[in-house]
Amino acid sequence: MQVGLIGCGVMGSAFARKIGKRLKWTLFSRTLKKAEQLAKDLDGKVASSMEEVAKECDVVIIAVPPANIDLVADGISAIDKDKLVISLVGGVRLDVWKDLLPDVTICRILPNLPILYGEGVVGIVDEVDSIQRQTIEKLVEGMGLIQWLSEEKLEALSALAGSGCGFAYLILEAYTEAGIMMGLQPKEALGMACQTLKGAAIMCQETGEHPAKLKWDVAAPGGTTIGGLVDMEGSGVRSGIIEGILETRMRADLH
């Protein structure tokens, strides 16, 4: 299967790298250096135009900023009707794509960056036939948690799991800085913070327990943990996280 990628930025490159050399790649980017480097890593080729990608490839993956989708649609407008177009573009709904490319099957996929390590979350709009679904499942194999969703739920996934990585890094940074304040070296503090959050997440997944139950297992009556939890609640940690995620979701509707 020949796969084309239009846009070799952070997300497009991550998606392609995780799929790797098991498929044949044709790459196009307005930044030639990015396409050349990715082509070298994937044993792929660099296309001279979007038209070339559309002509040569069975599947075309679009990973450009939302502002550039009109240019891409023009560039691949002659694509055969039996080919599959996959959009990794956040905030651009299927009805917009269908207006731009009315004769082709288009699928929306929203991955987050941890797909590079097989620990990502990948949301897919479930509006494809069984054969196309098999093709998509082959592409996203090994990326992490795969969720077939309605488009409305895909927008929620974007905020929770896409932007959510940024929020997780903020929390990780706060853990690390607390460790430094207590006298740990930055590397020591970061290592402990990473493993603590990773271990807590794995324990929640493996036990199937609600996070609240696991929290109370750690918080002994009158102990240090419950004292810290009360202070965090008073500082608005919980509400700040919830409001940040919801604000992200609302902002997506403005684009």
What CATH number does the domain containing 80 carry? 3.40.50.720
Q: Where among 93, 118, 149 does a domain terminate?
A: 149
Q: Please state the length of the chain.
A: 255
Mean local confidence (pLDDT), 219-233: 97
Q: Which domain holds residue 182?
A: 158-252
The per-residue pLDDT for 128 is 85
Question: Is a pLDDT exceeding 60 seen at residue 163?
Answer: yes
Question: Is a pLDDT exceeding 70 seen at residue 131?
Answer: yes
Mean local confidence (pLDDT), 211-235: 97
Q: What is the CATH number of the domain that holds 218?
A: 1.10.3730.10
Q: What percent of the chain has pLDDT over 70?
A: 99
Same domain, 207 and 86: no
Give the global pTM: 0.90
Straight-line distance from the first to the last Cα atom of the chain, in angstroms, rounded to the nearest whole number:
34
Q: How far is CA 248 from CA 152, 159, 185, 195, in A?
A: 14, 6, 33, 27
Same domain, 167 and 238: yes
State the Cα–Cα distance between residues 37 and 242, nearest whole angstrom.
39
Q: Where among 149, 175, 192 does a domain terminate?
A: 149
Q: Is 90 strand, coil or helix?
A: coil
Mean local confidence (pLDDT), 122-151: 93
Same domain, 34 and 10: yes
The 8 Å CB, 24+ separation contacts for 109-112 are 109/136, 109/140, 110/154, 110/157, 110/158, 110/162, 111/11, 111/14, 111/15, 111/140, 111/143, 112/161, 112/162, 112/164, 112/165
pLDDT tens track for 198-207:
999 999 999 9
Question: Is a pLDDT exceeding 70 seen at residue 254?
Answer: no
Structure tokens belonging to residue 54: 């559309």
More confident residue, 127 or 31: 31
Cβ neighbours of 32 (radius 10 Å): 12
pLDDT tens track for 23-54:
999 999 999 999 999 999 999 999 999 999 99
State the Cα–Cα distance between residues 122 and 115, nearest whole angstrom.
8
Q: Which amino acid is at 102?
A: P
* Tally of domains within the chain: 2
Mean local confidence (pLDDT), 96-105: 94
Mean local confidence (pLDDT), 225-246: 97
- Non-local (6+) Cβ contacts of 56 within 8 A are 2, 4, 26, 47
Mean local confidence (pLDDT), 219-246: 97
Same domain, 91 and 200: no
The per-residue pLDDT for 255 is 56
Same domain, 26 and 127: yes
> DSSP per residue over 103-115, as a string?
TSEEEEEEE-GGG
Q: Where are the beta strands (DSSP E) in the chain?
A: 2-6, 24-28, 45-46, 59-62, 84-87, 105-111, 120-125, 144-149
pLDDT tens track for 179-199:
999 999 999 999 999 999 999
Rounded to the nearest integer, the mean pLDDT of the chain is 95
Residues forming a β-bridge with 3: 25, 59
